[in-house]
Structure 1
Amino acid sequence: MTPTAFLSTTSAHVLAALFATSYVGSIYISKNARLSFSNTRARLDYGYARPKERDERWRDDPDVIRARLVAVSTATFLCCAMVFAVMNSVSGNETDQSTAPQLTVVHLGFTSSSILPHLITPVLFLGPLYGHFLLETLPFQKHWSFEEDVLSSLFSLAGMRNYIVAPITEEIVFRACVLTVYNLALASRTRMIFLSPLVFGAAHIHHAWDTYNRYGRSPAALKRAVIGTVFQFTYTSIFGFYCSYLFLRTGSVYPPIVAHIFCNIMGVPQPGYEISQRPDRRLAIIVAYLIGISGFVFVLPRWSYTQGSLHWN
């Protein structure tokens, strides 16, 4: 039996763009969530931001963070509501006896998964984890502190944004909602894995304006903003490929959310720094990175397999 496309490809594109616009645009609707900068120009040493002026609003200001947490949470709810509206029309089809709430929950991946998909990302980060072990910064090691590394970091306002609210809302919107409408349009797996995450990457481009202003509105600041934006677009798009694969393969949004949180906590791997700190373990660090990468390639298709995944089947 030939599958039925409940949405046209054009409709899926429009909805995906609407999801991204709603999410990013939500932080500019409220005055409290918007950033404001003076016209100050400054030539600064590379890597240093200029001092914040009194009447400016920067992204790490507590009031800005609070307003943005509310904004993106509201936008995420609205995106899910739009998917529900689509599912309401699908459930009215004579060949489908499921209700709109049931279809919405299943298609958005609010379903449980096995533990194995959640362990794939730590395998990839075997090298960085070994580096942290050598530097004794893993939980309960010498240079780890529950107060600083958990309470002050994870549960501060910035920590709530970086490690909790942003990963959860971004995965629900840019993975669950976006991939659901493309799945309803019968888009190919290749297109969903490698093209839909570009929307996620593009959603981070607006950070360039923030960087340009904080680093002095100079040619050097512009260069930093462009380079940083290109790097962030590339990194987030590649990460999006991975999370899209996880979502489609498992049929659950939870493995991508856990992967997103884990990657945000770990940060970008820095083998050079780890080697500089422990040159006596240089070979071991390199081997750990290589084992992590090869192990990731091996376990990804095996540990992500979920029988009956709605989106993969």
Structure 2
Amino acid sequence: MSPPPPPLALGTPTAHLFSLLFSLTYVGSLYISKHSRLSFSTTTTHSNKGERQNNDNDNQGEREKKQSERWRDDPDVIRARLLAVLCTTTVCCSVLLGVVWADLEFRWETLPTTLAQTRLLLGFCLPPPPTLSVNQLLPHLITPTLFLGPIFSGYLGGQLPFQRNWIWENHVTRRFCTWVGVRNYVVAPITEEIVFRACILSAYHLSGASKVKMIFLAPLSFGLAHVHHAWDTYNRYGRTRAAAKRAIITSLFQLTYTSLFGFHTSYLFLRTASILPPISAHIFCNVMGVPELGWELRRFRAYRGAIISAYVAGVLGFIYTLPQWTAQSAEGSLYWY
């Protein structure tokens, strides 16, 4: 196996440009085709009419979708967007391969070395089953440790697999075996992690950026890439001032949450030099959703102390396991030096 390429003379500004290029390419691909673009009626109505009602109705639900409109959860829109991001991910990986190959002067005899080095940079490494060890599985258990609180609340509600309120049709078939499920739990986590983690962090690594910059700077593009959802929210909730307020608040929350998540998965990627732990963390977080501690405390009043303890244990366990369960991987990581 060829050794990974050393940092190139890209410079940090060039790495910033690559980060911007990858981000804009990924998000922009969602709007290139007419089949993947969203469309909304310019004259939207809501069940609550009147300016005063619109101002006071901050918690109103989505308005009724018109037949001529295209929303992001429409199956044909999802299919077109999945194809777009799959192509975009391939393009981004190819660009990185071109950067590595350029350093080897684009000679055909260096192409096998280029492919091997690019694969290592992107973290496309899956050890064969006979060599799998507990230490290689531990990084995938760090994120579930953080969610001990929500998992315990799910246990109290009988919602965990094969408990009394767990139904295969509702919890598996209707959730995962749909186009929305394929997008949320398969294609989006895989492609986003490859582009926003593997490709962008590889570019920063080749520029000689420090680990601190890669962990806390690179994920900001991932957070900003979700801001475009504000337009969707604004239209789906009626194009009112309340809808605009909801869109802004939701986007700011998404920016914060996705950036924090990006810090976590960037750390996992750099420590393990593998894209697999970030992908598994992304899928798990999408399945669990945002924790709702307040709602859980109201629902299970008799277990308030136990729920809070589970949340605290999850945070403390996460702080402990994050460096400990990635320690052995970091020793052989091409990024963690």
Q: CA deviation at 1:145?
A: 1.5
Cα distance in 1 for partners of 2:333, 2:161 equals 35
Cα distance in 1 for partners of 2:82, 2:76 equals 10
Where does residue 195 of structure 2 map in the other structure? Answer: 173
Aligned with 1:57 (options 50, 70, 75): 70
Q: CA deviation at 1:40?
A: 2.5
Give per-residue Cα distances to partners, 1:224-277, cap 9 Å, x unaligned.
000000000000000000000100011001000000000000000111111222
Give per-residue Cα distances to partners, 1:159-192, cap 9 Å, x unaligned.
0001110000000000000000000001111111
Give the gaps of 5 or more residues in structure 2: 1-5, 49-56, 128-135
Aligned with 1:132 (options 154, 157, 171): 154
TM-score, normalised via structure 2 length? 0.89
AA matched with 1:15:
F
Q: CA deviation at 1:97?
A: 10
1:301 equivalenced with 2:323 (yes/no): yes
Q: CA deviation at 1:154?
A: 1.0
Where does residue 244 of structure 2 map in the other structure? Answer: 222
Per mean C-alpha deviation after superposition, the further-off stretch among 11-20 and 22-31 is 11-20
Cα distance in 2 for partners of 1:11, 1:165 equals 28
Give per-residue Cα distances to partners, 1:200-241, cap 9 Å, x unaligned.
000001000001111111111100000000000000000000
Where does residue 35 of structure 1 map in the other structure? Answer: 38
Per mean C-alpha deviation after superposition, the further-off stretch among 129-138 and 150-159 is 150-159
How many matched pairs? 310
1:105 equivalenced with 2:108 (yes/no): no
Cα distance in 2 for partners of 1:108, 1:6 equals 19
Where does residue 3 of structure 2 map in the other structure? Answer: none
Aligned with 1:146 (options 147, 155, 168): 168
Q: 1:4 to 1:52 in 2, by over 3 A?
A: closer
1:67 equivalenced with 2:67 (yes/no): no
TM-score, normalised via structure 1 length? 0.95
Q: CA deviation at 1:47?
A: 3.5
Per mean C-alpha deviation after superposition, the further-off stretch among 182-191 and 36-45 is 36-45
Where does residue 11 of structure 2 map in the other structure? Answer: 8
Where does residue 131 of structure 2 map in the other structure? Answer: none
Q: CA deviation at 1:42?
A: 4.1
Where does residue 190 of structure 1 map in the other structure? Answer: 212
Where does residue 90 of structure 2 map in the other structure? Answer: 77
CA contact (8 A) 1:125 1:289 kept: yes
Q: CA deviation at 1:104?
A: 0.8
Q: Secondary structure at the match of 2:96?
A: helix
Where does residue 18 of structure 1 map in the other structure? Answer: 21
Cα distance in 2 for partners of 1:91, 1:153 equals 47
Across the aligned residues of Structure 1 and Structure 2, the Cα RMSD in angstroms comes to: 1.7
CA contact (8 A) 1:15 1:178 kept: yes
